[in-house]
Amino acid sequence: MAKERVKNFILDEAKIVGFKGEYTVVFNGSNWNGEPLVLSSSRQPYEARIFKSLDGAIAELLRIGLTEASIKITNKSDND
């Protein structure tokens, strides 16, 4: 579904947020019921997909058609 939204220019910017071993993709300016819109898997559509590496998150963004993203590295305690 994210790939279709990128093709239709609904999603055009993303941010990778997290810390070593736990990165999520958040789409900038997009909300779902007041919450930030995050990338999820088709098997668990209501949970944010967690990537173990930045490379994995970037590869997924490239796969769905986004070529630009920002990265925010946080401390583990920032997410608790």
The per-residue pLDDT for range 45-63, each reduced to its tens digit, is 889 999 999 999 999 999 9
d(CA 43, CA 29): 25
Q: Give the phi and the psi of residue 39 in degrees, each rounded to 5.
A: -75, 135
Average pLDDT (16-40) is 86
pTM of the model: 0.83
DSSP string, 4-30: HHHHTTS---EEEEEETTEEEEEEEEE
Distance of CA 21 to the CA centre of its chain: 14
CA–CA dist 46, 5 (Å, integer): 17
